[in-house]
Structures are given as C-alpha cells and as structure tokens.
Amino acid sequence: MPVCNKVRINIVSDDQLLIEKINYYFKQREDIQFEYSHTPVSEENVEIYIAPVSCAMEMNARNNRESVKPPVIFYGDPSFLRKAFLAGCVDYLKDPWTVDELAFRLERIIRETKKIFTFSWGSISFIGTDIVSGKSRCSLLYQEYRILKLLLQQRGNAVPREVLFYSLWNHPGPRQSRVIDVHISSIRKKLRLILPGDYHEEVIISSRGVGYMIK
C-alpha cells in the first residue's frame, strides 16, 4: 500500500521561537516532516536528528547497538565541535546559527541518504532501513538492509553467500548455513510490496553455486 514518503526529522529543542521559525521556513516543503521533542525519539521513527551537543553522550551510547544510525546534526557552542564529531555527528551548527544554515545542511544530508538505484520499471532508494519505490515504502530488518545494499552496490555481479554472511557478522558462516537464503526470501517478498503491479520478475536473481545478484 502506498505510504507517506516524507523524510522524518527529529529536532530536539524546547525553544518555541526556534520551532516557529523552522516551521515557517519549511512550510512549503511537502517532503519533510518535523517532530519536536525534549529528548531524542526512538531511531525507528526518525531519519535525521538535529540535537543540542548536550545530547551527544546519550546518543553515542545508543550507537553501540548494532543498527543503521540516522545521521545527526549537533548544534551548540563552537568549543564543543570536536566532542560532537567524536560522538558521531555528520555536521555541526555553531552558535549562533540561522534556519537558512540549517536548511543548507539538511539538503546535503537528505541527498546523501537517499541514493537512488534506477531500473527499467522504476527506482529504489533508502530512507534509514526503509526501502522506497515511487510512493511505496517498506521496512527492512537491519540484516536485510545490509544484504540488499551490498547487492545493489555490486549490481551486475554475483555476490557469494560467504561474502554476504561475512558482511553481517564479520566471520565466515557454517558451510551448510541457510540464513542468507532465508533473508533473501524475506527481501524478495518485501520488494514485491513496492514494485509496480505489472512487474513480475525477481529483482534478486540466484546464481547457482555462487550466491545472488541484481542485474
């Protein structure tokens, strides 16, 4: 079923004047959805964080979990610039900053996080671990996301099961393991949910005795 394709951005702030300025500046942008909160919301509900550098320790602790991390723009005093990047941010807004500056930084990150892979039937892109095609969107498990992203990056080449397994757990899998095949089966089912209704071929092709590939 088609779903909202907006990029979900969590702005951590209780500054009402700032919130009003951001809402006014971006009021014409139908591709962006802001959520304001006093503390960072769950990663499952956001694609980009904008947070004060005081949240750096909390968000860095979250990053110890195995998951795809939404990019973070920290903001605050210029003296905390190094601390912010050590905590894993992708950009830093030094006080005092403007909404114009925020818009510029956001635009760059949105472009980078929505890399598009084009096919004859349409295109695939990612927002976090969600896969998007047209107006349809479907959530992938972390392992499924890693496998599909690797296959797309190696498009046209068969990727051995051993390589796919190693990309997930950093060690070779048991020779008889079927875990990659199970993940591929799940990815195929999810791809069918977002592909055009008149397209019936498999996007992920089996390469006998080797692994899988995307043409």
Q: Give the per-residue pLDDT at 148.
A: 94
Tens-digit pLDDT profile for residues 106-138: 988 887 766 778 888 888 888 778 898 888 899
Residues sharing a CB contact under 8 Å with residue 98, sequence separation 6 or more, in sequence order: none
Is the CATH number of domain 116-214 3.30.70.360?
no
Tell me the average pLDDT of the chain. 87
In CATH, the number for domain 7-113 is 3.40.50.2300
Q: How far is CA 118 from CA 26, 104, 124, 132, 159, in A?
A: 29, 26, 6, 12, 19
Instruction: Say how many residues make up the chain.
Output: 215
Q: Where are the domains of the chain?
A: 7-113, 116-214
Using a cut of 0.75, tell me whether the model's pTM lies above it. Answer: no
Check pLDDT > 70 for residue 98: yes
Rounded CA separation 89/105 (Å)? 12
Q: Give the per-residue pLDDT at 63.
A: 52
Tens-digit pLDDT profile for residues 6-54: 788 999 999 999 999 999 999 998 889 999 999 999 877 788 999 999 9
Q: With left for phi above 0 and alpha for psi between -120 and 50, is residue 208 left, alpha or beta?
A: beta
